[in-house]
Structure 1
């Protein structure tokens, strides 16, 4: 729950309030409130700015899941699918992109400039199975390289997951993780 909102925004808000309170207390000659504002407000404000500068926002749904898909997720989703979904739907700090380490391990991110970026995701049902579909903007890594990595991706995201790659536009593709745990 802690990562469902921006810690940077929280730090900036609380730090800003305490800092302003410290300046007002200084002007009104309230020494105790002045110290609270300066000793707690300014560090919180600076910490909030630092977090905000290094913040990775959650990936948006491109299509909200239906109640039947939510029930299917509860029944069939693998631990890997749950972990990926949890990772991409929360604020993150200290990462360059969502799933950056996984993409590097799979050989799909040789450099930061070439790394595919997740632009959205959706959950659906495919032949009675729960599927998590990750939508990527991949201008530097063509579909044929993704297809060459299918076996490695199946082993990486498995067991219990079938992996498919589909090109949807010139530089866009979808990575589909289908649960085989029916």
Structure 2
């Protein structure tokens, strides 16, 4: 029988000191009998009572801990403005040249229409493809630029013309240079000269950052990777950074994470005074 029955007529639990004996009923039914301490006359009957057990599932009351994201002190300006300086002419030339060559050969062998134009497409497609391959080979990709909103507002009024030029040069494609700011680094670190460093140990520009100092001045941060150099190599050339990227700036150097070093070019112009650009 699947339901447990509770009978109040047969006492089956006996207790003697610390020994407890549990008994179950006889042959065909399995029920638990409980002898109450006081048996009212109304309960001493042969009528059996069935006890129905119901289980209620209750979810635990849990209060989720919501952690509000920490608001950034400065907003970052997205660099989504279109400019020809961000276009790779190597990719454009190579794509146009290969397209003209492919269609020109197809038209020449009558696979594609326009056979009368096949000679012109082959004539211009071949040099364009060669020029595109050469530009792609000599291409130097732009470095990432992180700009804060307060620094963007100060750029036009406080950044010196040289700082603006440095920023514009490193965030666009360049061709023929081995690395960004190659001429500046060559003069500052004096590759292969007495007191200088080997060319193979030259720092490599990884990214730049525009920010505002605590006293409200515009600052352009150059982040270099230099595994073969130490902080002292940058510190002893701090004055050279100031003189090369000046006038009107103060250079500060510092150590970043891993093998990264930061050169902070701080404009001396006050945020309340507009400097002509």
Q: TM-score range by the shorter chain?
A: over 0.9
Which has more helix, going by share of residues?
1
The alignment status of 1:144 with 2:232, answered yes or no, reads: yes
> Residues of 2 paired with 1:149 and 1:79: CA distance?
22
Contact 1:124 1:130 in 2 (8 A): yes
Give the alignment's Cα RMSD to 1 decimal.
1.6
* Mapped pair 1:129 → 2:217: yes
Please list every run of 5 or more consecutive structure 2 residues that lacks an aligned counterpart in the other structure.
1-82, 192-196, 271-277
Structure-to-structure mapping, 1:16-27, within 5 angstroms: 16-27=98-109
Report deviation, 1:32: 3.6
Q: 1:47 to 1:12 in 2, by over 3 A?
A: same
Aligned structure 1 segments of 4 or more residues deviating by more than 6 angstroms: none
Query: TM-score, normalising length from structure 2?
Result: 0.62
8 A contact 2:107–2:114 mirrored in 1: yes
Unaligned runs of 5+ in 1: none
Q: 2:248 aligns with which of 160, 166, 171?
A: 160
Q: Point out the structure with max Rg over C-alpha.
A: 2
1:72-83 paired onto structure 2 within 5 Å: 72-83=154-165
1-side partners of 2:160 and 2:122: how far apart?
48
Deviations 1:137-176 (A, max 9, x none): 0112221011111112111111110100001134211111
Aligned 8 A contact 2:150 2:211 in 1: no
Greater RCO structure (CA 8 Å; 6+ sep): 1
CA contact (8 A) 1:106 1:153 kept: yes
How many residue pairs match? The answer is 180
TM (norm. structure 1) is 0.93
Deviation by residue 1:106-146 (Cα, 9 ceiling, x = unmatched): 12644442111111111000020110011110112221011
